[in-house]
Amino acid sequence: MTITDTHTHLYSEEFDQDREEMIQRAIDSGVSRFFIPAIDSSCTAAMYDLEKNYPEHVFLMMGLHPTYVKENYLEELQHVEEELAKRKFYAIGEIGIDLFWDKTRLPQQQIAFRKQIQLAKQYKLPIVIHCREAFDEVFEILEEEKSPELFGIFHCFTGTYEQALQAISYNMKLGIGGVVTFKNGKIDQFLNQIDLKHIVLETDSPYLAPIPFRGKRNESSYLLNVIDKLAGIYNLSAKDIANSTTENSKMIFGI
């Protein structure tokens, strides 16, 4: 049983004390494929180190996270372009729009999101979307940029059934993690109406730990709790959930 974590920040300082042990716990539990989203240029070196240390397990993305769209965002976008030109990545991410913390930078976030979508098309890569309190704004740009070349993952999907269908209509898989185990998460109420072929697994670790670890540091081995929840929702075995979602991840990332 091969389990894929399509979104984990393994370079986070929250893992500095026990990173090797935490990654080994995940591998021992069957979680052996880790896809690493970028935040901004400050994490690039750490991402490369992870890839060097775990070449068979770690797969990198490149991108500028919307909450890191600051005054220097054009320089950061230049960094993204330069890295993409140098070497192989498996996605552009995480990118998108976040209006939870700061609504004043929406125009800059929109520019960054659109630019990175266009880079994804240029390099024929999937995008991994971060969306927080910004479904309308994200969908507006996806509608304008939609094409057969545009595909990817709607990371940490927390929307409604209707929004799920809309995301899928833009060739997006739904990234499902710890939120599906929350009593107030709500997505568990309609996921059984979404074909499993549209679902991939993720932790977003160190954030959003599933029940019974909610409020604590998340880690990739906790995907087993998410799988158990999905097995109940879809009335399938944990092995079926793991295998199907890993196959879905291979369709997106090409590996």
We report the CATH number of the domain holding residue 127 as 3.20.20.140
Q: Which residues are annotated as a binding site for a divalent metal cation?
A: 7, 9, 94, 130, 155, 204
Q: Give the domain extent around 57.
A: 3-253
Between CA 218 and CA 209 the distance in angstroms is 4
Judge whether residue 44 has pLDDT over 90. yes
Binding residues: 7, 9, 94, 130, 155, 204
Task: Say which residue, 102 or 53, is predicted with more confidence.
Answer: 53
Is the pLDDT score of 210 beyond 90?
yes
Structure tokens at 162: 């209707």
**The predicted structure's pLDDT at residue 245:** 98
Do strands 3-5 and 31-36 pair parallel, antiparallel, or not at all (unpaired)?
Answer: parallel
Please count the structural domains in the chain. 1
Q: Using CB atoms within 10 A of its CB, is residue 54 exposed (0-12), middle (13-18) or buried (19+)? A: middle
Q: Which two tokens stand for residue 181?
A: 């185990």
Q: What is the pLDDT of residue 45?
A: 98
pLDDT tens digits along 156-170: 999 999 999 999 999
pLDDT averaged over every residue in the chain: 97
pLDDT tens digit sequence for 106-157 = 999 999 999 999 999 999 999 999 999 999 999 999 999 999 999 999 999 9
pLDDT at 107: 97
219: exposed, middle or buried (C-beta count within 10 Å: 0-12, 13-18, 19+)?
buried
Is the pLDDT at 174 greater than 90? The verdict is yes
DSSP 8-state secondary structure symbol assigned to residue 209: P
Q: Fill in the amino acid letter for 254.
A: G
**CA 179, 107, 45: angle at the middle one, nearest 5?**
65
- pTM (two decimals): 0.97
pLDDT attached to residue 185: 86
Q: Which residues of 171-199 are buried (b: 16+ CB within 10 A; e: fewer)?
A: bbbbbbbbbbbbeebebbeebeebebebb
> Which pairs from 181-189 meet CB under 8 Å and 24+ separation?
181/210, 181/211, 181/214, 181/225, 181/226, 181/229, 182/210, 182/211, 182/214, 185/158, 186/158, 186/160, 187/157, 187/158, 187/159, 188/229, 188/233
